[in-house]
Amino acid sequence: MLVVEDDPDTLETLMMLLEAHGAEVAGVLCAADALPMLATFRPHLLLSDIAMPGEDGFGLIARVRKRTPDEGGRIPALALSAHVYPEDHERAFAAGFQAFLNKPVTAVALLRAVRAALDSLGPVDRRRHERRSLPIGRAVPERRAHHRRDSAA
């Protein structure tokens, strides 16, 4: 997954949460760094903040959607924003995002949205990504065992 978030603390938190659930995650602090990352990292999903200085998430998704499928132009994308007006949601969907998550986002809401976006990949896209399955929504075994020890104490 590629996470684009201008706040370093939020970026780190999102990455840690996703990694704890088995995802391979790269993060960048601005939209300008996202496109070169898409060319080299080739993630299954893009999670982008909308309101960022410089190019915002809308500009980023417009540039992503102009790419060919082989260049990542069809990557599932989730918008993340503190702007919660219905117009913001509509604009995000019209721009090419598949889901809109309100900040602050809960771990459960984020993981559900990620799983839904990954499940929506078409058959061709699924075959393309078979080698790198992502167990999002299921805790990694070490984390689950650790949680049981904590709750038993």
CATH number at residue 63: 3.40.50.2300
Residue range 62-83, pLDDT digits in tens:
999 999 988 889 999 999 999 8
CA distance 153 to 144: 15
Domain count, the chain: 1
Q: Is the pLDDT of residue 141 over 70?
A: no
Residue 6 CB-half CA count within 13 A? 14
Can you give the pTM of this predicted structure? Answer: 0.79
Looking at the predicted structure, is the pLDDT value of residue 137 above 60?
Answer: no
Q: What is the pLDDT of residue 29?
A: 97
Prior bond of 104 cis (ω within 30°): yes
Lowest mean pLDDT among 68-82, 108-122, 132-146: 132-146
Indicate the residue type of 28: V
- Sheet bearing 2-4, strands edge to edge: 26-28, 2-4, 46-49, 77-81, 99-102
Q: Contact 20/140 with Cβ under 8 angstroms? A: yes
The domain of 86 spans: 2-152
d(Cα 12, Cα 3) in Å, to the nearest integer? 10
Q: Residues 94, 61: contact at Cβ < 8 Å?
A: no
